[in-house]
Each structure stands twice: as C-alpha cells, then as structure tokens.
Structure 1
Amino acid sequence: MTRVLLTGGSGFIAAHTLDVLLKHGHSVVTTVRTQEKADKIKAAYPNYGKDKLDFAIVPDIAVPTAFDQAVVSDPPFEAVLHTASPFHFNVTDIQKDLLDPAVIGTTGILRSIKRSAPSVKRVVITSSFAAIIEPSKGFWPGHTYSEKDWNPMTKKDAEESPMAGYRASKTFAEKAAWEFVEKEEPNFSISTINPPMVYGPIIHNLESLENMNTSNQRILSAAQGKWKDEIPNTGVHFWVDVRDVAEAHVAAMEKPEAAGKRFFTVAGYFSNKEIAQIVKKHFPQYKDLPSDSTPGGDYPEGGKDAMYKFDNSRSREILGVKYRNFEDSVVDSIKSFQKVGL
C-alpha cells in the first residue's frame, strides 16, 4: 500500500485514477476545489474510511503556494499523481485561463513537495499528446510519433487560438516539470502520461450533460443529432480510453522502471465518422443520426496510410497497458451518458 496524493479528484481522468488506486489498496487523499465536490466523491465510495479516502480543498491551482498544505499528511505521502489542469476552450485570456494554471500548477506542486513532503519518491504528471505533436507538420506521412517528440510551439504561437493555447499549456507545463527535476534535484523522480483524445465512460459526478468533458462532447454531439447534416473534422486521429489512461497513471507510480520517463498512451486511430457509425449501430433509437452518406469527419484522402504513425510500445512494455478497442469505448461512453439524462 502506498499513501498517495491525487490532485483534481473530480476530473474525468482523475475519477478513474482514484478508482484504480482504491482497487489496488492504496490510501488516497485527493484535492478538490470545494467541499461540495469532496462530499460527492465521498458519497460514491461509502465503504472507504478516512484512512483510505480523504480530501484536501485547493480552490485555485494557479496560486504558486496552492498545494503547500495539501502535500502535508500523517502518515506522510510517498507518491503524488498530478492530474489537475484545465482542458476547455471557454477562454478569454490564454495566459490567465490556460498557460498560468497549467505551468504554475505543475511547478507549484513540485516546489511544495520538495519543500514540505520529503517522503515523496514518485510523482506522475498528466501531460498530453499536445506536448508531443508538431502541429505545423499536419498529417506528416512517414513520421512515427513517440515519447522522443516534443511540440516546438513558442509563446507567440500559443496566442493564436484557444487550441494553440491549450497545446502550449501542456507543452510548457511538462517542460517546466522536467527542468525542475534537472535543476532542483529533488528526492523524487517524475513520470509523465501523454494521452491524445481521451474517450470512455464518465464516473465523475457530472451535474448535467452540458458539463461534459471536452473530448467526450464529440460522442455526445453525435448521439444528440448535432451531426445530422455534416460530421465535423476529426483533427487529431489518435485516441485512448480513459480507463487505460488511469491504469497507466497508477502503473507509472507502482513500477520503479517507469521513473524518469514519458509515456505516450495511445490505443490507435479513430475518425468522427466512425464515432457516428458506432452510435448508429448500437443506439438506433437516437434521432437525426448521420447516415453513411453524410459528409465530413473521415480520414484524409489515402486513409491511415497518408498519416503519421504511433509507437506505444513503451506504455505496453513498461506499464503493461492492454488497450481497449474503440467500439467498446464509444458504447460504454454512451451508456454512462444515459445515466445523466441522454
């Protein structure tokens, strides 16, 4: 059993990560923004006492000292899983809404651990394929993306759009984490988990379908009939199931050989057209679903052969991730949305 601090416990990935941690028998304190969020998570795990599941309130992760209190525990923490970072495009100020929370949240927690939690030996950080991809290369046929790749975006590039700001926030935050370890030489090692589009069932407390996490909004839109006339462009054609991402976080903490490594957690390719086809096949009761002739949402001309490849061998070999298939992920997602009113 390990004593673990999990940040951002009410988030999409964090909720599944909490589930895996508890099933593996670890003792978890998770940070949330409000007491109300803590109460809802607690209600989902009525059989776990305070020794196994407790909470720390951290209202704003963009404050440099936000985690100073949260990292102090009795018994002391041995590991920290940092998943808290914004992923949304409701942005008015890219610096304030995206870059600061991601970068300050990440370096802030590493400083707090170094200063106040010397017992911590392992830190796992949720990064993203956004910190790997080279957006200017487009579909880059012939290139295989792996942990060796870094997004080369600059501060100026980040200001172009909310999407650019998001990608830059993940890149700058991850780079800042690796630089911190190099310069500060703390007691702990870090690992990063770098997923692309994350789909799969929601188990966090969702007030309503309007508050759906950004990636799953696509599956929801297809089921709600919003793609009836045209299927949106897919963008990045890589995906992974949230349950596999959660397993990867916990394995990166548990396995000593994961220390000091990035992990590109990717299950394979998908297209928005495939989302629409899976929804139609399994849930024909939904109205206004796209037909096979509805335009948009497909792979580029030439299909997968005309696109970048991926190498997920490190996540399979070191973390032992066995990736789920896309159809199951979409079906399980819709079933979970139905419980919240779809």
Structure 2
Amino acid sequence: MVKVLLTGGSGFIAAHIVDILLQHGFDTVVTVRSEEKGKQILKAHPDVSKEKLSYVLVKDIAQDGAFDEAVKSSPPFDYVLHTASPFHHNVQDPVKDFLDPAIKGTTGILKAIKAYAPTVKRVVITSSFAAIVNPNQHAKVYSEKVWNPITWEEAKDHSMVYRASKTFAEKAAWDFVKNEKPNFDIATINPPLVFGPIVPYLNSLETINTSNQRMRNLVQGKMREKIEPTATFLWVDVRDVALAHVRAIEVPEAGGERFFVTAGHFSNKEIADIARETHPQLESKLPPTDAPSDLPADIYGIDNSKSQKVLGLKYRPLKETVSDTINSILAVGV
C-alpha cells in the first residue's frame, strides 16, 4: 500500500487533502502541533483504521531537525505533501519571525527526507499565487512561468512579508533539489484565494481561513453598508486545490513542475450576488443590489492550462463554491 506523509494536517487545505487521500486509497499520516488536533482529525474519520490514518507531533516546523523523526516510518513513506507553514501571531521582526521560519520550514523537511526517508519519490509543496504575482506591475497573463520579483530588502516591509515568505520558501525548495540532487523530485501547487466549505471539527467562525473570512463577514451582515475591497481578484475551490495535491503524486509527469491552480476572476460583489440567489433568507444582511463591482475592466489574464492538462483538474464554478461555503458557515452557526 502506498503511504503518504501530510504536514500541517489541521490546516484548511490539508483537512480536505486528508479526505481525498483516503478516498484514493493512500495510507495517510498527518503532522500536527498538538495531541488535541490529532485526536480531532481521527475523531472526524471514525470509520478509518489507524493503519489508514494516524498522526505524529511536530510542534515547531521552523526548529532544526523538526521533521527528522516524523519522516521515519515502517513501512516507509512513498510521498510527502508539505502544506505546513510557520504558525505565529506576532510579527515584530519580519526576517526573524516570518521569512526565516518560512524558508527553514520548507528546506527543513526536504533535508529530513533526504537524510532519513530514501524511499520518498516526490514531495508536493503548497506554495501560493503570492510567489507568482507582481502587485507593482501586473503581468498581462499570469502563469507558472511568472515569479514575484520581490527582493529581500522589500520583504522587510510588513505589508509585503507574506508574499515574500512564500516566494523565498518556494525558491529555496527548487534550489535544494537543484543543488542537493536528492532521491526525490518536487512539484508545487500555487493557488490564489482559497474558498470552500470550512471544516467544522477544526474551525470556529473566528478561526476560519483568511480567504473565507469575506464570506463569513457577508453572512454576518458586515458588508451590508459597504462591500469590502476584493483586493486579489483570483480564486479557487479548496476541494480542487486538495485534488491538485493528490494528483501531483499520482501523475508521473507532474514531477519538477509548478502548477498555477485557479478557477479564474471574481469580485466580492459577485459573491454577494450569488449569495442573494442561493440563500434568499440572507437578503437583509447583504449589500444593495446596485452596489458597484471593483473588478477592473483591464484585469490581468490567467493561464491555468497546465493544471488542467497535466493534473486533469476541472474547476468548480463560483456559484457552487459560494453556495457550499455559505452552507458550511451557517451550519457552524452565525
């Protein structure tokens, strides 16, 4: 049986990856920061045996050797999906608190696999559109070929540190493979804003992922007077992102490739209009029908053809995603 290590198992994307890994028959081990999170994941899959789903503790992924024990397994791992990212609330020093942990978290697991898990054939890394986009001068068309040109000096700006951390962490991964020539290849998944059903066993409405917060705010009436700026005009459904990670270990041709995983453009106005159509009971909490859209007429283009051709992705439409996400939010309770 094929065995997979999934890091960051209690994250939004990872929780959906667990479901797809189990559906596709993989033996799955997730890393979590606490016993409590691990037990929540197992409890949410009561019909799955401990041979098919288990967890291992990795309390701080930025620590040297953090993954050394986690990658050791009997039977050994065949693949690693690395979704974990450094967890901290208080960024005072962008380099020390954000950039270094992001880079070390990524290179740390690659070092551990090379040293202690020689059976691993491929590592799939969750990167981001943040490692592609150039907010200062947008590309005419964004694809995997484009890199965020941010510099280390620019990265020290608090407003740019997240995009920088994703860019430098992904570059560090590609450099590691090029320079260290390990026993595995890598693939990266680069999504923009990730919408989709929240995971009730891991999330409260206060702790839902950042991208979905706009839908929570909409449902709670926080955009009744004014729609929040959309900011990033690209989106993707979390279930499509999760499938992309799993397909990237199933499809041989995915090795050595970046995948720009996006369903296309949207605006917060469009989400509000869909919410009005699919959930008319929310009418009193939604912005006026004549509220303007902030989607620019000359918005940059996208090319997501590689994800469709190589990974076989068929992207969900925005209406389905918005409807399912709102249903999951309402189920938790507004």
Residue range with higher mean Cα deviation, 268-277 or 82-91: 82-91
- Secondary structure at the aligned position of 1:280 is classed as helix
5 Å-filtered alignment, 1:165-176, equals: 165-176=161-172
Written as runs of structure 1 = structure 2, the 5 A alignment for 1:225-304 is 225-286=221-282, 287-295=284-292, 297-300=293-296, 303=297
In 2, Cα distance between equivalents of 1:147 and 1:207: 31
Superposition misfits of 4+ residues, deviation over 3 angstroms: 86-93
Q: How does 1:15-94 map to 2 (within 5 A)?
A: 15-86=15-86, 91-94=91-94
Partner of 1:136: 136
Task: Give the Cα separation in 1 of the matches to 2:248 and 2:77.
Answer: 16
SS in 2 for 1:6: strand
What TM-score, normalized by structure 2, do the two folds share? 0.96
Identify which range, 283-292 or 220-229, moves more after superposition: 283-292
For residue 91 of structure 1, report the CA deviation from its aligned partner: 3.5
Which residue pairs with 2:194 in the alignment? Answer: 198
Write the distance in 2 (CA, Å) between the matches of 1:10 and 1:206: 7
Partner SS state of residue 209, structure 1: coil
Structure 2 stretches of 5 or more lacking a match?
A: none
1:178, distance to aligned residue in structure 2 (A): 0.1
Deviation at 1:171, TM superposition (A): 0.3
**Does the Cα contact within 8 Å between 2:77 and 2:119 map onto a contact in 1?**
yes
Paired residue type of 1:169: S
1:329 is matched with 321
Counterpart amino acid of residue 271 in structure 1: S
Equivalent residue for 2:145, pick from 132, 148, 158: 148
Residue 11 of structure 1 is matched in structure 2 by 11
Distance in 1, Cα, partners of 2:2 & 2:278: 41
Which of 149, 155, 159 is the aligned partner of 2:156?
159
Shift of 1:98: 2.5
CA–CA distance in 2 between the matches of 1:105 and 1:320? 29
* More displaced 10-residue stretch of structure 1: 86-95 or 126-135: 86-95
The CA distance in 2 between the partners of 1:64 and 1:156, in whole Å, is 25
Structure 2 vs 1, CA of residues 277 and 92 (structure 1 numbering), >3 Å: closer, same or farther?
Answer: farther
Give the C-alpha shift of residue 96 in structure 1.
Answer: 3.6
For the aligned residue pairs, the C-alpha RMSD in angstroms reads: 1.6
After superposition, where does 1:89-104 map in structure 2 within 5 Å?
91-104=91-104
> TM-score scaled by structure 1?
0.94
Instruction: Name the SS of the counterpart of 1:28 in structure 2.
Output: strand
The answer (yes or no) to whether the contact 2:103–2:169 under 8 Å persists in 1 is yes
Provide the C-alpha distance between the structure 1 equivalents of 2:210 and 2:290, rounded to a whole number of angstroms. Answer: 26
Aligned partner of 2:304 in structure 1 is 312
Q: CA deviation at 1:90?
A: 5.9
- Is the contact between residue 78 and residue 121 of structure 2 (CA under 8 Å) also seen in structure 1? yes
Call closer, same or farther: CA 1:88–1:293 in 2, change over 3 Å.
farther
- Segments of 5+ residues of structure 1 without an aligned counterpart are none
Displacement after TM superposition at 1:266 (Å): 0.8
Q: CA deviation at 1:285?
A: 2.3
- Specify whether residues 174 and 92 from structure 1 end up closer, same or farther in structure 2 by C-alpha distance, changes over 3 A only: same
Aligned length: 333
CA contact (8 A) 1:206 1:340 kept: no
